[in-house]
Amino acid sequence: MALDLCLVRHAVACGRDPERWPDDGRRPLTPRGERGFRAAARGLARLLPGGGASLLLSSPYERAWRTAQILAEETACPAPVPLDALLPGAGAEEAAAALAGRAGAGAVVAVGHRPSLHLLAAYLLTGRENGARLRIKKGGAVRIRFEGPPQPGAGELRWLLTPGLLRSLA
């Protein structure tokens, strides 16, 4: 039972500003970030199996959640489902365990943050959070394939793309 996992880093968000957003989880995408990611999402749809995924998971933070909503609007992905294991600072083990229960989904897209998403990708590919240095740009994506349930070190890197490359595919 194979699983295609696409990890997407949230699009460009407003800068940290404790006066405007005392709760960093409420910090939104910039208008430019939304526009740019909308095009990147259309490019991503060309690369995902069937133009989307059977499951779209997202950190509940505003910037990731809005990125996931745009994915649902521009691809064949369903509405996002919140997953706390994708929050900033969540451990790779916790996120991997949450994903393992979704092995039968076929194709899953998960939207999150740096550094958690980078550590998760490294963990799934090598079995260690620091086993690889991956850089997922804001609005970029990495696709990892598993021949069975997503387990540490069992993933195969299919591609890692910048938002600019995704936009060019649109």
Sign, Cα dihedral of 37, 11, 24, 119:
positive
pTM: 0.97
Q: Is there a contact between 124 and 103 (Cβ–Cβ < 8 Å)?
A: no
Q: How far is CA 4 from CA 12, 35, 52, 96, 159, in A?
A: 25, 26, 11, 14, 11
Amino acid 69: pLDDT: 98
Q: What is the mean pLDDT of the chain?
A: 95
Q: What is the CATH number of domain 3-169?
A: 3.40.50.1240
| Neighbour-count burial of 101, counting CB atoms closer than 10 A to its CB (0-12 exposed, 13-18 middle, 19+ buried) | exposed
Mean pLDDT to the nearest integer, 135-149: 94
pLDDT digits (tens, 9 = 90+) for 89-133: 999 999 999 988 776 778 999 999 999 999 999 999 999 999 999
Amino acid 148: pLDDT: 83
